[in-house]
Structure 1
Amino acid sequence: MNNYLISPSILGADFARLGQEAQDVLEAGADMIHIDVMDNHYVPNLTMGAMACSSLRRFGINAPLDVHLMVKPVDRIVGDFIDAGASIINVHPDATTHLDRTLQRIKESDCKAGLAFNPASSLDALKYVIDKVDNILLMSVNPGFCGQTFIPNVLHKLREAKELIKQSGRNIRLEVDGGITIDTIKSVADAGADTFVAGNAIFKSADYRETINKMREQLK
């Protein structure tokens, strides 16, 4: 498993140039592309559907597509993203009635299964399905919008999640999404994270490569 992965969120990209933006950020050193899917029901914003995922594949993006489904109910839409070329599908435990079944559905495809948690959500559900989880995504802002400030209390949850991964003996990645910048990425890594989602911090910067390089310098 690679030590650290950077996953820029296209929520911060120029949607008129989405394919090119994804290609540019990957060429600048990003490891994969993060796709934030919001339904204006589970979270207070409406973003994109599976078409964004399939469009990136048609454009020629071969890097992993890291999909975060902030929709409820989530089960029906999971298949759309499997078909659209997602690599990782992260779901929230409170967005489905039968979490174990949802994770099994993802695992039966070629996708990796991820479990996502909002800042104030307990990790209890993870304890019962950790055998089906490849990725744990902790939100470090309240979900819905780019550009929010990192919530420091999530560092405690990161340490808790890291301990659960250690106890499981499984090769599970620990991802953090929200308020990740050059200034916050080191403390998040120190708390146990190995995968970092950044939207505005990268896509609103003048030089993608310079920003990603500065993030990696903080991770050394």
Structure 2
Amino acid sequence: MLKSKEKGENKMRIMPSILGANSLELHKEIARAKESGINGLHIDVMDGHFVPNLGFTAQNVKEIKQNFPEMEAEVHLMVSHPEQMITDFIDAGADMIEFHFESTTNAYYLVQQIKKAGVKAGIVLSPATPVSVVMSLIEIVDQILIMTVNPGFGGQAFIKEMMSKVAEVAQLKNAQNTDFEIEVDGGVNDQTFELVKKAGATVAVSGSYLFKGNNFHERLSRLV
């Protein structure tokens, strides 16, 4: 991740999603992100069931941490029954594990288990998932991720209507005096970044926008 320049009180961090990187040159892609000042990566894990696509694995996370130990590995589980695989990602070196609220029957317990292992825990809200589901979790989660695309594929168009959900979570955070991060994932680029920031997000995930261009650093500079 990379913290943006200060504009008012809200400081944004950038978390590149390696789903948007060239998978055949992943080491080089991560290296150029690191050279641009990035120190964290968003890693999408998909099972072909919860979402109709496949993503990275615990072995991929392990290899990334072995080659880039200073990089924070943020694992986004888009899978059914995430409780069945969190141990694999904890053992692989994940620094944060976040999962979709509706993907498990006991989100509170799963957050507890992740944090008990010394790993940060996050809850993910898909576009159709209401903010109300996180009311019992805001005291224990480290991050709430609001999806601004439908989960499963990179390169989708940004859903602007989700900014009201981001603002709602930000208001909830302030009202409850909690300190979790508010992350946005999906369609974040130089045209949508300011909308995300103004809505109250503190972390922005960007994949296709950063990695598909010829100059990662130049594209990153448009955000920070």
- Shorter-chain TM-score tier: over 0.9
Deviation at 1:18, TM superposition (A): 1.5
Q: What runs of 5+ residues in structure 2 fail to find an aligned partner?
A: 4-10
Rounded to whole Å, the distance in 2 between the matches of 1:111 and 1:167 is 26
Pairing 1:157–2:165 present: yes
Deviation at 1:29, TM superposition (A): 2.6
Pairing 1:100–2:104 present: no
> Partner residue of 1:37?
45
1:16-59 CA deviation, whole Å, 9 max, x = no partner?
A: 22223112112213241000111110011111211111010111
Structure 1 segments (4+ residues) deviating >2 Å: none
Pairing 1:210–2:218 present: yes
Pairing 1:86–2:81 present: no
> Partner residue of 1:127?
135
Paired residue total: 215
Is the partner of 1:43 in helix, strand or coil?
A: coil
Deviation at 1:123, TM superposition (A): 1.3
Is the partner of 1:29 in helix, strand or coil?
A: coil
Deviation at 1:66, TM superposition (A): 1.1
1:61-103 CA deviation, whole Å, 9 max, x = no partner?
A: 4121111100001101111111111111111111111111100
**Residue pair 1:23, 1:61 contacting (<8 A) in 2 also:** no
Amino acid across the alignment from 1:169: N
> Partner residue of 1:143?
151
Q: What runs of 5+ residues in structure 1 fail to find an aligned partner?
A: none
Rounded to whole Å, the distance in 2 between the matches of 1:79 and 1:23 is 27
Rounded to whole Å, the distance in 2 between the matches of 1:73 and 1:214 is 38
Compared with structure 1, are the counterparts of its residues 163 and 156 closer, same or farther at alpha carbon in structure 2 (3 Å cutoff)?
same
For structure 1, which segment, 140-149 or 56-65, has the greater mean C-alpha deviation from structure 2 after superposition? Answer: 56-65
2:122 to 97, 114, 133: 114
Is the partner of 1:154 in helix, strand or coil?
A: helix
